[in-house]
Structure 1
Amino acid sequence: MAETLSKASTMVFRFGTDAHLFDDPDDVNIAPILDSKYDSEKCEALKRLLALIAQGLDVSNLFPQVVKNVASQSLELKKLVYLYLLHYAEKHPNEALLPINCFQKDLGDPNPLVRAWALRTMAGIRLHVIAPLVLVAVNRCARDPTVYVRKCAANALPKLHDLRLEQQKSTIEEIVRILLNDLYPAVVGAAAAAFASVCPFNLSLIRRNYRMLCEILPDVEEWG
């Protein structure tokens, strides 16, 4: 929880200082703005919500109003919505399911950041009922042309594994193998962390490329 709040504290500042957003601790007046016809006003409302989250306040009561904006064509608004969803998806999985079709659509978005946001949010919904959809999404993103998306796929594997998909064990381990063979240290580091969590005793996954993994180790991030 502390780590989540720490991450939340940096959310607003990704979009500028906006110190005034921290002045009003009340979220009562934000709800109507989330229904505005102007994306700029919705963005301002989302920034205020993220500022409240950064202060440790619970604004999950506005989940329904926020989540419907995930289909917006505005990249900035979509980004803010996904930041909110990433914070609350695990706590409110049933509500997070509402825009599942939008998440799946965003997995094919031309912008790799949107694809990554969609995958991270889907992986954060800890419901067994959508596990097959998450598996398909991770499998797809593991082959994405963008390094960041593939890294997100690797980071999603432990969460997928936690759902106990025993019948899909071989598929999950195959995704681990694919990502361990990636050419980029950022992906390999995340894949190694996934390997340690998902299938640490399946040494066949690293036997063929053990030397390469050792050579790339100095360039791998400490925590994958």
Structure 2
Amino acid sequence: MGTVEGLATDLLRVCQQSDSQELRIILHQLVETVNTPGNISCLIGPVVKSLPSHNFNVKKTAYSVLPRLCSLYPDTAFLAANTVRQDCKDPNPLVKTLAITTLCSLPPLFQEHAAPVLDTALKDSHPRVRQTAVIGCSRVFRHSPQLLFEQGFVDRLYEIIRDTDPVVVTNSLLALDTILAPEGGIVVKRNMAMYLLKRLGDFPDPQLATVIQVIGKYEPQDEEELFQELSVLDPYLVHSTSAAVVINCTKLFFKLTEKKHPQLKSEIIERVVPVLKTFLLSGSPRESKNHVLDFLIVVSEDRDWLDHFADTPNLFYPQKYDTELVPALKKLKILPYICRESNYRDILQNLEDKYCRTPKTLSEAIACVCSISTRMPLTISSECLKVLITLMDSNESLVCNNVLSALQDFNLDGFTNDEIRSLIRKVLMKVDLSLEDVPYILPILLGQYGELIEDESPYVLESLVNNFDQYNDNLQNLVFNAAIKMFLKMPAKCQHILGEIMEKCIYDMNSSDSNKLLSSQQTALKHYILLKNNVQLMKEIMI
């Protein structure tokens, strides 16, 4: 690529040409250069001169970079203002929308020029121009909020809700909700709600989902009105082409019925679940899957919902054509909530064989196994522990390290001594005691269960104490606590080790951090005094 000055010269030379390979290259270079740090002031003139071009690709590119140039060099807006205003009157709706969008993006100083342009554009015969004008109102609001209120644009936007074009209607609803956010968003009264309900069939799916959401701002005044609204909405509970429509309609159904008709909840769920399952199948659009997964995460604590997915856990396994990471991570958040005694083996097997073998999902998959353990009976928790122990045998150090990290929060209450003993020995096999980043789970296990391997644990603890000085604060605290707990359980074998670590904490003056040294000394002295005066109380506190 040449210099910025060379690009400026080339742009002036070709801006009135017909489409060519050279022109496409120069326009591409222009976009890249404008978005790259550096002095690009020499491009101001060529870009402004390109705005009136009769070549639409040149005009479109010039308009696309103009807001960036104006933000870097505010005077650019003065040079471009006349051309932009003229293009706002152009008979070509594509040119007109480009100019309106840009005018609404110029610095606040120019927002006053936007008001008459928007006023005219909101009445334009072309729906795309009206759409752009509505969006332009939201853009102007960001810079000059008072202007919209002073010029009466809020009332205009309410009027435009009756526009013949459904996209214009939806944009108006969204713009009002944004502009009126400090007051709670758009106000939906009975007439508006009834009007929107009658027009539901006019809206394409993306707009339909938004309109249903907006209708939810209105609360029916009586039973007759309530069931009239439910009757109109009913077909959209099983709308097979849009997950967003189904989910927004479902939320609205619950909102309308939860107070006076809670008995309808199970019926609504039974109707909706088969449709949601369809959206989760392999080959469904990514956006649909994400909508459903997001919804299920929100309702995951509600067994009335998740019980219906327990018979199809395969919907939450990696699918053959899945390439996206985000849906996989969302599925892992849901799996613990659909795990039951009837399906846990299949779920754990898929977690171990698929999710835990993929680096991108490894950490979340192991967390999923741990979450299943906390939610299920002890017999199933034992199976979860077996999966983690098996994973530690992986040849991939990343797998083992993630398991060791997750185990520090794994609840071992209720497990048999043999299970815990197997876990400790597996951890010892995988940990290099000479390293300064020993996994936290090792001193935790030693402190809680070191007596289960009393022939080995004192020697392991002694190795940790010997390397005590090279550990970070958290690891030192864990090792210190492990030494006290093991002494209380095995005093004869651990007395000399406890004495050594007490000496390191109280008398070792090698630390360059005086605050750390003082804290370690105080902690050790407190424990020493308590041990000396009341061992039984120390046992009650520590064990």
Q: Report TM bin, short chain.
A: 0.7 to 0.9
Structure 1: gaps spanning 5 or more residues:
1-23
- Pick one of 96, 115, 121 that aligns with 1:141: 121
**Deviation of residue 51 (structure 1)?**
3.7
Residue of structure 1 equivalent to 2:132:
152
Amino acid at match of 1:160: V
Q: Which has the larger radius of gyration?
A: 2
- Pick one of 11, 26, 31 that aligns with 1:34: 11
Cα 1:37–1:49 change in 2 (3 A) is closer
CA deviation string 1:18-39 (max 9, x = no partner): xxxxxx2753420111222662
Residue of structure 2 equivalent to 1:75:
56
Cα 1:126–1:223 change in 2 (3 A) is farther
Q: State the alpha-carbon separation in 2 of the partners of residues 170 and 152 from structure 1.
A: 18
Amino acid at match of 1:147: P
Cα 1:188–1:58 change in 2 (3 A) is farther
Q: State the alpha-carbon separation in 1 of the partners of residues 169 and 162 from structure 2.
A: 7
Residue of structure 2 equivalent to 1:104:
85
| Aligned residues: CA RMSD | 3.1
In the alignment, structure 1 residue 172 sits paired with structure 2 residue 130: no
**Deviation of residue 168 (structure 1)?**
4.4
Amino acid at match of 1:151: Q
Q: State the alpha-carbon separation in 1 of the partners of residues 89 and 67 from structure 2.
A: 19
Higher relative contact order (CA 8 A, sep 6+): 1
Q: State the alpha-carbon separation in 1 of the partners of residues 38 and 95 from structure 2.
A: 25
Structure 2: gaps spanning 5 or more residues:
212-543
Residue of structure 2 equivalent to 1:18:
none
Residue of structure 2 equivalent to 1:11:
none
- Aligned ranges 1:103-142 → 2 under 5 Å: 103-127=84-108, 129-142=109-122
Q: Give secondary structure in 2 for the equivalent of 1:33.
A: helix
Q: Tell whether the 8 Å contact from 1:177 to 1:206 is kept in structure 2 after alignment.
A: no
- Aligned ranges 1:8-47 → 2 under 5 Å: 24=1, 26-36=3-13, 39-40=16-17, 44-47=25-28
Q: Tell whether the 8 Å contact from 1:190 to 1:223 is kept in structure 2 after alignment.
A: no
- With the length of structure 1 as denominator, give the TM-score of the two structures: 0.73
Cα 1:167–1:52 change in 2 (3 A) is closer
**Deviation of residue 195 (structure 1)?**
0.2
Residue of structure 2 equivalent to 1:161:
141
- With the length of structure 2 as denominator, give the TM-score of the two structures: 0.33
**Deviation of residue 191 (structure 1)?**
1.1
- Pick one of 30, 33, 55 that aligns with 1:49: 30
**Deviation of residue 166 (structure 1)?**
5.2
Q: Tell whether the 8 Å contact from 1:67 to 1:99 is kept in structure 2 after alignment.
A: yes
Residue of structure 2 equivalent to 1:3:
none
Q: State the alpha-carbon separation in 1 of the partners of residues 65 and 210 from structure 2.
A: 24
